Chain A
Amino acid sequence: MINSILKYGLISVLLILFQVLALNNIQFSGYVNPYVYIIIILILPSLTPSWLILVIAFSTGLIIDLFAGSPGMHASATLLAGFSRPYVLRLIAPHDGYDPGSSLSMVSYGFRWFVIYATAIVVIHHSALFFIEVFRFTDFFRTIFRILLSSFFTLGFVLLIEYYRKGR
């Protein structure tokens, strides 16, 4: 238990560092901004109480905001992703339910399930984030395009990191 918490904490720190030091400095044509730190929300164990998910999500967003100089944007978007996580999980639950102990990873529930799960959360997070960033509904389809493109890249990174975890 303690071990897994420590491991989780380490992963979180590494992800946040990766996000703020590497990914935040990538400006690829203004459309692509992958936000990989969302994995922190994705891989929390399924028995985590929802209030704790919310707190973790909020704190993660807060830290990213502090580094990125974008007060409130990541916090609110990540919070929304954390809030919707239980509903998404309930929607795509496998036949024999969730194993309360294990983390929600590709190893435990398979590639297909994980892709669906990660896509749902990432799209929710990115939609909230980009719409909060522009904060208006003019240029609606431009924003949608940015959301889809960035979600695609974020998913790529998420799957890569998951493969890496699976391999270990």
Chain B
Amino acid sequence: MRNLLNFLLKYNNLIVFLILEGIAFYWLTNGNAYHNSRMVITVQGMTRGMEARITNAKNYLSLRVVNSELAEENSYLLNRLEQLSTEQDPGFIYVKDSIAGQQYNYTPARVINISVNKQKNFITINKGSLQGIKPDMALTEGQNAVGLVVGCSRNFSVAISLLNLDFRLSSRLKSSGYFGSLTWDGRNPRYAVLNEIPQHISVAQGDTVETTAFSAVFPEGIGIGRVSEIKKSGSDFYKIGVELFTDFSQVQYVNVIGNLLREEQLELELQYQ
């Protein structure tokens, strides 16, 4: 108590000054519209800065939720697009049957395990047969091909990655439409090899390589990569190096694409083989 009194006595000058100055400033900011607005602007500027930081941090923490929501929505929109675009079949009668018109069905999924450094790489995703995933469905990331579902449990699926020596993907050059077979040579996870393109075709570096619908797995025109290297091997075919669009070490969210008409197509083809 005595210390407190001593303190007050020692600094009474400063204390009286601060109190009176506080009163003066209170009066200043309340009595003058200009000073008041300046004060409000300054204080708001400070709190806004803090709020912006807090919001940034919160947003960062909820990115995972937002991502999955966006993936959901993306798939929904792709479904809608598929329904709408196949309606415009140039037939005789225009029947608007959204279920019958849809050929591909999109499901978003999250990658929970993926490898790029083996010779036979696989991808595990967090959806399985309960969510309608079946073998022979295609995996894409955005508009780029990633792999092919080979096995499903109830809640998980395993897909064979493009980066697998056993995987062959029917693909074509976007510029000329000639198709070949894409494989991975097991060396660099950024590059694959496109074979069976005959040598009389003109191929340029940077040409886009995309999927065909021949295998009834991938929709037509899903991007695979870009021609980076053109080699003439001893045979009649090119050996074309393709720089893949997909960076497999960073794949997080994928779309699983099911072809609703696949069985019908295969059944029909089987009759004549």
Contacts and interface: CB of A to CB of B under 8 A. Distances in A.
Interface of A: 50-51, 54-55, 58, 61, 65, 70-73, 75-76, 79-80, 83, 86, 132, 135-136
Interface of B: 12-13, 16-17, 20-21, 23-32, 34-35, 38
Contacts of A58: 20, 23-24
A132 B13 contact: no
B32 A72 contact: yes
5 contacts: A51-B12, A61-B24, A65-B27, A73-B28, A76-B28
B9 to A, nearest CB: 11
B16 A54 contact: yes
A72 B17 contact: no
Contact of A72 (B13, B16, B25, B38): B25
A54 B19 CA distance: 10
A54 B20 contact: yes
B24 A75 contact: yes
B34 A51 contact: no
A76 B24 CA distance: 5
Q: Which of B23, B28, B29, B30 has the most CB of A within 10 A?
A: B28
A79 B20 contact: yes
Given A54-B13, A135-B38, A72 B31 contact: yes
Given A51-B12, A72-B29, A83 B24 contact: no
Contacts of B31: 71-72
Nearest to B35: A135
Given A135-B35, A135-B38, A51 B28 contact: no
Contacts of A54: 13, 16-17, 20
A71 to B, nearest CB: 3
A58 B19 CA distance: 11
A131 B26 CA distance: 16
B62 to A, nearest CB: 38
Contacts of A72: 24-29, 31-32, 35
Given A70-B32, A71-B31, A72-B27, A86 B13 contact: yes
Contacts of A71: 27-28, 30-32
A48 to B, nearest CB: 12
B28 to A, nearest CB: 3
Nearest to B28: A72
Nearest to A53: B13
